[in-house]
Structure 1
């Protein structure tokens, strides 16, 4: 049985379900997969040191999450021009030719959207956050045919830079915005860490959530977030960050191994059973 050594680098990842997903994928495809968590601060190392340590010590690939998705770009080669324009990488394959970067948040969001909303277009979208996952989602929204993407970010320069990148080489659909732009949007996206275990909160002030057609929260630990409660109270069809987690993870596994997951229903069942066991253990 071929052994595949994988891992995840991030700061707030102890509750991540990525190890379970990749190990189940390995079992279903006949591969011996290990997937470990690497937290630079707990290792007493900087991100660059952890990255180089894992590459030297024989890992086949790594996922990268907050706050390192942009920082890792300088350490990899990126073949896909769209991913290069996103400027954020969450999947790294270590090869004899060097470290190669991919962004499965980009592909994973599109798959999650189509699985839930089929061929519907996103319409006019307000998105909170213009960081790593936000960059990928913005490009994915444009690919899905969004009419307008309004970027609401505490660092306005960051939002303006992302808007320029999204608009380069095509129709100008993205711009920096503010809370006042929530009125009349079709969709609302949370691509900030707010709501995640260890962070809490929501980017939308109480009482300000618009009557949107749909909403997406990139946070999936926990699944039930304050943003989700706001969206459902406003009557929006809710797309969970769990779906992005699922599809970006499956895409990453295929990049790492070159093997496709044979049965998505069976994989989802395994992951659901894991979650139920975890909940029961806590009660």
Structure 2
């Protein structure tokens, strides 16, 4: 099997890469444009495909991975609902992916599949840059799926001393709390948790264009809260809009989307990406 580097434009001497995103309902993703524009800026060729199982991509997750690897892809990004299911089809996990139990980036190399989690670093970097000096004493994390797992571990590493995790699937919240460690507990009463926390993070799809609403009752927000959302379409979710109206400091899903792509680009190509350049592409798409 040829590697992605061997599937290059040898006639032009320009190294070419093919990547993709596998997920459900991802037609509006800005990830392809960020990768393709960054590659172009670095003098590379990049084709980034959307493998949307809700819109024409056939087969099981295993079959999609097989087709991509056989076609010479450098790798795939993975999003909802496959970040945990994909692990069964990989040969090796990075330390972060192993710890979190979720993968959002798969690299194909030398006939093996390597799983990484760039959401972990992406969210951490976004919070550090976008909400500097945020009070991390007590945080409520809503959502314990693949994205929530990455954010839970990221928040613990950032120094949160009390992490309350809520999910409609109680057993999933409990499992994540156990994995994160002693700072984390699963909670079911959102009103009590909101009254006791300094920050609230939405790691669910609630707020997306196709799933409107807020992850908790907006009346539970207080101006002392800081509020972060991982949803970026729309960029201003109903949750963030309500938080701003309440006087909260807010963090949109833009930073995590950009920084996870920055790290994934390097994993796919072996070259560092320019975060500011990728952010510009992200914002340009929003304006369009």
> What does residue range 22-37 of structure 1 map to in structure 2 within 5 Å?
22-37=35-50
- CA pair 269-233 structure 1, distance change in 2 beyond 3 A: same
Task: Give the aligned partner of residue 118 of structure 2.
Answer: 104
Q: How many aligned positions are there?
A: 272
Task: Give the aligned partner of residue 174 of structure 1.
Answer: 184
Unaligned runs of 5+ in 2: 1-13
Is 1:95 aligned to 2:109, yes or no? yes
Is 1:200 aligned to 2:230, yes or no? no
Task: Give the aligned partner of residue 281 of structure 1.
Answer: none
Is 1:45 aligned to 2:85, yes or no? no
Task: Give the aligned partner of residue 138 of structure 2.
Answer: 124
Task: Give the aligned partner of residue 18 of structure 1.
Answer: 31
- CA pair 28-190 structure 1, distance change in 2 beyond 3 A: same
Q: Deviations over 1:172-209 (max 9, x none)?
A: 10000121211031100000000112111111124122
RMSD value, Cα: 1.5
Q: When the two structures are superposed, what TM-score results if normalisation uses the length of structure 1?
A: 0.91
Say if 1:86 and 1:136, in contact at 8 Å, map to a contact too. Answer: yes
Is 1:248 aligned to 2:260, yes or no? yes
2:65 alignment partner, SS class:
helix
Structure 1 range deviating more: 6-15 or 74-83: 74-83
- CA pair 215-115 structure 1, distance change in 2 beyond 3 A: same
Task: Give the aligned partner of residue 155 of structure 2.
Answer: 141
* Aligned equivalents of 1:83, 1:121: Cα separation in 2: 27
Q: CA deviation at 1:119?
A: 5.7
Q: CA deviation at 1:46?
A: 1.8
Q: Deviations over 1:157-185 (max 9, x none)?
A: 00000000001xxxx10000121211031
Q: Deviations over 1:206-253 (max 9, x none)?
A: 412244431110100110111111221222211111110000011100
1:207 alignment partner, SS class:
helix
* Aligned equivalents of 1:63, 1:267: Cα separation in 2: 16
Say if 1:195 and 1:225, in contact at 8 Å, map to a contact too. Answer: yes
* Aligned equivalents of 1:162, 1:212: Cα separation in 2: 26
Task: Give the aligned partner of residue 62 of structure 1.
Answer: 76
Task: Give the aligned partner of residue 185 of structure 1.
Answer: 197
> What does residue range 220-259 of structure 1 map to in structure 2 within 5 Å?
220-259=232-271
* Aligned equivalents of 1:78, 1:121: Cα separation in 2: 36
Say if 1:70 and 1:88, in contact at 8 Å, map to a contact too. Answer: yes
Say if 1:91 and 1:252, in contact at 8 Å, map to a contact too. Answer: yes
* Aligned equivalents of 1:212, 1:151: Cα separation in 2: 19
Say if 1:127 and 1:149, in contact at 8 Å, map to a contact too. Answer: yes
Q: When the two structures are superposed, what TM-score results if normalisation uses the length of structure 2?
A: 0.90
- CA pair 11-51 structure 1, distance change in 2 beyond 3 A: same
**TM superposition outliers: structure 1 runs of 4+ over 6 Å:** none
Say if 2:258 and 2:275, in contact at 8 Å, map to a contact too. Answer: no
